[in-house]
């Protein structure tokens, strides 16, 4: 049995029973497969959950990048497109997402949740690609504090989890408030990381220091 089929069967079980299977043995018995077939693909149920969240990320990223206009977007627009698409992907799986969310430590944007480990790793790879492009296009200012710039992916990860948390609790029609939250969250992040009056002030101070007599 493939990983995808095991994930699908696990998701269906959780939705139908409102909880994880009692054991790998019971789950395999229901699927009519041997335990070794399960362990060939996964080591535990938490690993399945982590793979599910990662798969949803991969699906959303691929869908966003398939759009013909995506490659012409600014980095800010690319991240907006991804987050809008990601939420649309989560909508299709909302019942499972809500059940999985119940097991998260809260608040999710400050706690480490094992269910999100694989998603986080893939997200960081994606964001680092965007940040590299953003530095080239000057959408993100190159600042003389490497330790600060190294934390930029953490900022976007926290904001993405904040969007997830907001969407989980959003009761507006068609989750329209979440769309607004995504826009404001991304714009605020890029406004902070882009060139600002403080950068001009720093440049002035640097110039004065270098040309002092």
Domains defined along the chain, listed by start: 1-43 (1.10.10), 46-210 (1.10.357)
Provide the residue count of the chain.
213
Q: Which residue has the higher pLDDT, 202 or 43?
A: 43
The pLDDT tens digits of the residues spanning 55-74 come to: 999 999 999 999 999 999 99
Tell me, rounded to whole angstroms, the distance of Cα 212 from its chain centroid: 47
Nearest of 151, 133, 153, 142 to residue 194 by alpha carbon: 142
User: Out of 26-40, 124-138, 191-205, which region has the weakest mean confidence (pLDDT)?
Assistant: 191-205
Q: Is residue 88 a contact partner of residue 179, using CB atoms and an 8 Å limit?
A: no
Task: Find tokens 């990601």 and name the residue.
Answer: 86
State the pLDDT at residue 85.
99
State the pLDDT at residue 2.
87
Mean pLDDT of 102-110: 92
Confidence of residue 204 (pLDDT cuts 50, 70, 90): very low
Mean pLDDT of 151-163: 96
Mean pLDDT of 161-173: 97
* This prediction's pTM: 0.88
State the pLDDT at residue 197.
45
- Whether the per-residue pLDDT at 43 is higher than 80: the answer is yes
State the pLDDT at residue 149.
81
Torsion of the alpha carbons at 190, 195, 201 and 202, rounded to the nearest 10: 90
State the pLDDT at residue 200.
46
pLDDT > 90: percent of the chain? 83
State the pLDDT at residue 201.
45
């Amino acid at each position: 049995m493939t990983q995808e089929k095991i994930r699908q069967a696990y998701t269906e079980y959780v939705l139908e029973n409102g909880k994880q299977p009692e054991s790998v043995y019971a789950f395999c018995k229901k699927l009519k497969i041997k335990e070794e077939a399960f362990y060939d693909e996964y080591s535990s149920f938490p690993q399945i959950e982590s793979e599910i969240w990662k798969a949803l990320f991969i699906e959303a990223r691929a869908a966003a990048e398939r759009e013909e206009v995506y490659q012409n977007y600014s980095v800010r627009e690319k991240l907006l497109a991804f987050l809008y698409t990601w939420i649309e992907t989560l909508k299709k799986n909302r019942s499972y997402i809500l059940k999985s969310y119940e097991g998260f430590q809260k608040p999710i944007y400050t706690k480490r949740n094992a269910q999100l480990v694989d998603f986080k790793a893939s997200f960081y790879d994606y964001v680092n690609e965007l940040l590299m492009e953003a530095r080239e296009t000057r959408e993100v200012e190159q600042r003389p504090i490497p330790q600060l710039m190294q934390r930029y992916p953490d900022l976007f990860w926290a904001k993405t989890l904040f969007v997830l948390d907001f969407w989980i609790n959003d009761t507006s029609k068609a989750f329209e408030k979440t769309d607004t939250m995504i826009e404001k969250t991304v714009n605020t992040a890029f406004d902070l990381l882009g060139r600002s009056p403080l950068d001009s002030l720093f440049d002035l101070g640097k110039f004065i220091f270098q040309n002092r007599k």
